[in-house]
Every structure is written in C-alpha cells, then in structure tokens.
Amino acid sequence: MLALQWVRMADAYEVWLNQVRDALRSVNMPMEDWQGIWRFDFQHEFNAGTKADDAAMKANRFWWHQQNKSLNQDCRESGDCWLPRNHQGECQPVS
Ligand SMILES: [Zn+2]
C-alpha cells in the first residue's frame, strides 16, 4: 500500500533517473561524481523517451569524452569519438 502510494506520488522522471543512477553505478561511473563536473542533460534524454540503460551509456561516453578532452587525450580521428587518442579499433561516436 505504501509502495503503491509512493509510485503514484513519485515523479516518473525521478523513477527513471534512479534506474540511470543504478546503471551508472554498475559501471563505476557514479552520477553524483560526474554530473557535478560535466553536466549531462538527463532531462532531455528522458523527454526523448530514451531507455534508462541507454541514457546511462550515453552519459558514460559523454563523461569519458569530456575527461579525455580535459586531459588533451581525446581522439582526433573523428569529431565525435569518446575513446582516448590512439585507441585500438574504430572510432565510436559519443551519441
Ligand atoms: Zn576515435
């Protein structure tokens, strides 16, 4: 009964965001740490109907890309690759 009330009261976005947070924790990219440094637009992904797991992976790539850029270690092979410079294999776009 309490749980049902909670679900009804909770903003759907908050529920979704908690799923994203869990997914990010599972890949050792805590949202609490990274979102404070480089803000990823989770609200935009939610509004676009992105699944929580997919949004988590997008944020993961976004943060890696930002970190690589800040360390001047970003890949220059293509404009939108989140892998570090001189990486193996093909480029992988951020989004
Ligand atoms: Zn690349």
pLDDT for 2 beyond 80: no
61: in domain: yes
63: in domain: yes
Q: Which residue segment(s) compose the domain that 39 sits in?
A: 2-70
Instruction: State the amino acid at position 93 in one-letter form.
Output: P
* Lowest pLDDT segment from 1-10, 32-41, 86-95: 1-10
18: in domain: yes
43: in domain: yes
Q: How far is the CA of 70 from the centre of ligand 1 (A)?
A: 16
77: in domain: no
Q: How far apart are CA 51 and CA 54, in angstroms?
A: 5
Which tens digits make up the pLDDT trace of 38-66? Answer: 999 999 999 999 999 999 999 999 999 99
Q: How far is the CA of 49 from the centre of ligand 1 (A)?
A: 28
Q: How far is the CA of 76 from the centre of ligand 1 (A)?
A: 7
84: in domain: no
91: in domain: no
47: in domain: yes
The contacts of residue 80 (CB under 8 Å, 6+ apart) are 93, 94, 95
Cβ 82 vs Cβ 94: under 8 Å: yes
The structural domain count of the chain equals 1
pLDDT in the model for residue 11: 83
